[in-house]
Amino acid sequence: MPMLSRLALCDYPREYHEDLVTRRGRPSIVEGNRMNKPWFSSIPTNIGLLSILGRMELPLLTSLEIAYVVVPSWDKSEHALLAHVVDAFPRLQHLEIRRYRTNWRELTRYTPIAKILSRARSLRTVRLGLDCYNDPGAYCCWSSRRDRWLEKLRTKVGPEIIKIMQARCPALEHVAILYHGSPSSIWIEFHPSRSPVGGGEPRPPGFVMSYDEQYIDSEMITRMGGRDVVF
């Protein structure tokens, strides 16, 4: 275990398939998924995940993927989890976080998350599934809602996060934020602004949005239990 360099404690199939479809009153994916098995996707809370990671000694870990459920009003415990991640794994270069709220009215305070993660100066790439309050989520039928959320990601959420993290992570290549688009959920990349060699005005942060395979998180599920389902 101490020699481990990559660790993934994640949800598969992705929780947003089961939860968001069930929550909107459509047939539950527990009736059957692509593996023809019930939906057994048990995700720990932030407290439970902290307990798991706290028992691991992984000084050589460079890549970590985690998923957890945020218990309402437990900001401090979530921050304790993230602080443990950046302090316990000093060689971390690639980090992917998927957080899921249980209270759909609760706001996601993403700037404190970015500030904690920026303490990991070795980070090169970061992926964040934030599950924000205004995010319409997977299987949203209204393109206007998706467009409004995309605009907020592009002009506010992404730039604020990359600004915080690039200030303390000199090797940072990009921060990617999960976006539930159509027809796929994809990772939108925000690249840090860099000063040109020889001086001059820094280039503005880069923004990459694509439905190419390398950016796709997962395809939308369109069949359940042998039946066609329209979203």
pLDDT of residue 201: 61
Reported as a single tens digit per residue, the pLDDT across 20-62 is 545 444 443 333 344 444 444 578 999 999 999 999 999 999 9
Q: Which two tokens stand for residue 65?
A: 């993927």
The CA dihedral of 219, 142, 113, 166, to the nearest 10 degrees, is 80
Reported as a single tens digit per residue, the pLDDT across 133-166 is 889 888 787 899 999 999 999 999 999 999 999 9
193 pLDDT band (50/70/90 cuts)? confident
Bridge-based pairing of strands 125-129 and 174-180 is: parallel
Asked if residues 215 and 179 have their Cβ atoms less than 8 Å apart, the reply is no
Domain boundaries, given as residue ranges, for the chain: 6-228
pLDDT of residue 39: 47
pLDDT of residue 71: 81
Indicate the residue type of 153.
L
pLDDT of residue 75: 63
**Is the whole model's pTM more than 0.85, yes or no?**
no
Whether the per-residue pLDDT at 97 is higher than 60: the answer is: yes
pLDDT of residue 224: 39
pLDDT of residue 202: 62
